Structure 1
Amino acid sequence: MAAIESNPKISLHARSNSFPNAPHPLVSQFEEHLNRLKSSESASSSSSLSHKLSGLQDLHESSEKLLQLSTTRQALAQDCTQKCVDELLDGSLRLLDICSTAKDCLVQSKKSVYEVQSAIRRRGAEVALTVGAANYLASRKNVKKEIQKASGNLKGIRNQFTVSSEAKENGILSMLKEAKAVTVSTLESLLYFVSDPKGQSKQSRWSEISKLMKPKRVACDSQEMVTSEFEKVDSALKSLISQKHASTDNFQGDLENLETCIQDLEIGVECLSRKFIRNRVSLLNIFNN
C-alpha cells in the first residue's frame, strides 16, 4: 500500500483536478460496489434487502480503505469547505442514528414474535393467544411511530448527499456523497419494509426511492408485489383478534419465517452500523488534524 501511495503517477480519481488521470485501484473497487448497488433491483423483499445491506457493507468497507490513504486525507483536508465538513460529519452521525432506530425496532419486533410464539406453545386458552396477538399489534404501532420519525430524518439528510457540480470537482468528495445517497435510499427501503409492507407497492413511495437508486422497472401493481413476512403475520393476527378464524396452524410457519427475516436484517444493520462508526472516526481524524 505504501508503494502505491508513494507513486506520484497514481491518483485517487480522474475527476479530481488535484491528481493525474490514472485512478487508484481502490477507487475502481469502490466504484464497482457502488455501480452494483445502483444497477440492482429495488429492495422489495427481505432477501433483496439483506443483499442490499451486504452490498452496503462492502461499499463502506471500501470507503474506509480509501479514507486511510494519505492522498485521500490530504485531498479532503485541503479541498473541503467548512460547510462540506459539517455536512459530512452531521450526515454520518444521522446515519448512525437511523441504524440505531432500525436495530431497536427490529429487536422490539423480534421480542413481540417470541411472545406470540410462547402463547401458541402454551395453548392454555384462546384468550392467551388473543392477548399475545394484541400485544404484538400494539408493539407494531410503536415501531411504526419510531420509524416514521426516522424516515423524516432520512428525508432531511437526503439533500446533503446530492452530488453538485462543485462536488464533482473533487473526486473523493463526490464518491463519498454518492455512497451516502445510495445508503440513504437503502435504509429508507428497510424502514418502509418493516413499518409499512403494503405501502411498498404504492407508486408515490417507490418513485422517491427510484430517483436515487435508478433501478430497473419496479412492478407497482400490488398483485405483482411479494407479500412480506411482516404483512403475513400482521394480517393473520388481525384476523385472529377479529375472530374471523381461531386456528394457529396456518401462521406458525409465517411466524418462524418472520423471526428468521428479522434476525437476518438485524445482523445486516448491525454490521453496517459498525462500518459507519469506522468511517466517521476516519473523517473525524482527517478534519481534526
Structure 2
Amino acid sequence: MAGSSATPCLHQPVRSISLPSRLHPNSQKIEEQLSKLKTWKLSSTSMGIPLARETIQLGLTGLAELYNSIKELFHSPLTQNALLQHECRKLVEETLDGSIGLLDACGTARDLLLNMKKHLQDLQSAFRRRSTTDSSIETNVQAYITFRKLAKKDIVKSIRALKSMHTNAVAFNYLLNVDHHILMVIKLLRELSTLTISIFWSLLMFLSVPVMKTKANGWSLISKLVPVTFAGSERAQKVFNEVSNVDIALCYLDGNFRKNGAKIDVQMVQRRLETLDGVVDGLEGGLDCLFRCLIQHRVSLLNLLTP
C-alpha cells in the first residue's frame, strides 16, 4: 500500500465555478455545494492519514446532494443545447466513459462493505453463543482476517484505477473557443469527477488501514504495536480507526487461541465489533445513495447524446 498512500488532488486551490444564473435557477445552490465539497477535499487531503468516518460520510452526503442538483441542471434545455454543440459532444462522451470507472469504484466499495458486514455479523453471533467447546469464534476470526487480506488487494487495484482517472481529469485542456456559459458547465463536470474520485479515494483508504505484515509465527506488527496488556486497554483505540481497531483485536485473538491461560477481554472485542458494524451501516447508506446518483448521472449523459 505504500505506493498507493499518497492522496491525490493535493494543494489545489479552491476556485469558484461562477455558474451563470440563466443556465438554471439552482445555479447558486450548485455553486455553494461545490464550494463546500472543494473545501472538504482540501482539508481531507492535507491530513495525510485516513479520514474519520464522520468526515467521509459528510463527503458522501454532500456529493449525493450535488449530483441531484446537477441532474436538475441537465434537464435545462439551455444546458442540453450547449453541450450538444460540436465542440462539446466529445467531452460529454468522455465524461460518460469516465462514469463507468466511478461506478466501478463505488461498486468495489459497496461490495467490501457488504462482505465486511456479513463477517461482522457472523463474528457477533459466534461471540454471543460462545462456550468452552465452541470453535466457531476461532473459525470466524480466521475467516475475517483472510477476508481483510483479500480486501486490501481489491482496494489497491481500485486505488490505482482512481489514480489513472484523476490523472486524465486534471490533464484535460478546456476548450478556449466556446461560449463562457458552456465552458462553466464543462468545468463543472470535471470538478464533479475529481471530487467523486477524491471521496472514493478517502473511503478506500479508510477501509484499507496500514497493511500488517505477517510472519510464520503470526502478526509481527501486532506484537510490536500491542503488548500483552492490549486486550485490557482502550488506549490503542485512539490511535486507529474503527476498522483497524477490529483488525488488531482479532489478530491478537488469533495469536492467542492456542495459548493456555491467554487472557482475552471478550467484551471489548464485542464492543469494537458493534462499533464497526454501526460504521459500516452508515457508510453503506451513503454509498447506496451515491450509487443511485451516479446511475442517474450516467442516464442524463446518455440522454444528452441520444435525445
Q: TM-score scaled by structure 2?
A: 0.75
SS in 1 for 2:174: helix
Give the whole-Å Cα distance in 2 for the aligned partners of 1:34 and 1:79. Answer: 27
Partner amino acid, structure 2, of 1:104: D
1:283 shift after superposition: 0.6
1:153 shift after superposition: 1.5
Partner amino acid, structure 1, of 2:201: E
1:62 shift after superposition: 1.1
Give the whole-Å Cα distance in 1 for the aligned partners of 2:21 and 2:125. Answer: 62
Give the whole-Å Cα distance in 2 for the aligned partners of 1:259 and 1:117. Answer: 10
Is 1:172 the counterpart of 2:185 in the alignment? yes
Is 1:74 the counterpart of 2:74 in the alignment? no
1:185 is matched with: 198
Give the whole-Å Cα distance in 1 for the aligned partners of 2:32 and 2:171. Answer: 18
1:80 shift after superposition: 4.1
Residues 58/79 of structure 1: CA separation in 2 closer, same or farther (3 Å cut): farther
Cα contact 1:161–1:180 (8 A) shared by 2: yes
1:111 is matched with: 118
Partner amino acid, structure 1, of 2:153: K
1:34 is matched with: 34
1:30 shift after superposition: 1.0
Number of residues of Structure 1 aligned to a counterpart in Structure 2: 250
Residues 51/279 of structure 1: CA separation in 2 closer, same or farther (3 Å cut): same
2:61 is matched with: 54
Could you give the per-residue CA deviations for residues 90-139 of structure 1, whole angstroms, max 9, x where no partner exists?
11111111111111110000111111111111112363322211111111
Is 1:65 the counterpart of 2:35 in the alignment? no
Is 1:86 the counterpart of 2:93 in the alignment? yes
1:151 shift after superposition: 1.2
Give the whole-Å Cα distance in 1 for the aligned partners of 2:138 and 2:163. Answer: 37
Coordinate RMSD, CA, aligned:
2.5
1:132 is matched with: 140
**190-199 or 114-123, which moves further after superposition?**
190-199
Cα contact 1:60–1:275 (8 A) shared by 2: yes
1:196 is matched with: 209
Give the whole-Å Cα distance in 2 for the aligned partners of 1:280 and 1:187. Answer: 17
Could you give the per-residue CA deviations for residues 248-278 of structure 1, whole angstroms, max 9, x where no partner exists?
1122111111000001101100100100111
1:81 shift after superposition: 4.4
1:207 is matched with: none
Give the whole-Å Cα distance in 2 for the aligned partners of 1:121 and 1:240. Answer: 16
List alignment gaps of at least 5 residues for structure 2.
Answer: 1-16, 45-49, 213-235, 257-261
Could you give the per-residue CA deviations for residues 187-233 of structure 1, whole angstroms, max 9, x where no partner exists?
0000111122679xxxxxxxxxxxxxxxxxxxxxxx9x852110100
**23-32 or 114-123, which moves further after superposition?**
23-32
> Percent identity among equivalent residues?
34
**Pairs within 5 Å for 1:10-29:** 24-29=24-29
Cα contact 2:21–2:28 (8 A) shared by 1: no
Partner amino acid, structure 2, of 1:256: E
Give the whole-Å Cα distance in 1 for the aligned partners of 2:202 and 2:18. Answer: 32
Give the whole-Å Cα distance in 1 for the aligned partners of 2:162 and 2:28. Answer: 28
Residues 161/26 of structure 1: CA separation in 2 closer, same or farther (3 Å cut): farther
Cα contact 1:163–1:177 (8 A) shared by 2: no
List alignment gaps of at least 5 residues for structure 1.
Answer: 1-12, 200-222
Partner amino acid, structure 1, of 2:167: N
Partner amino acid, structure 2, of 1:232: N
Give the whole-Å Cα distance in 1 for the aligned partners of 2:56 and 2:305. Answer: 33
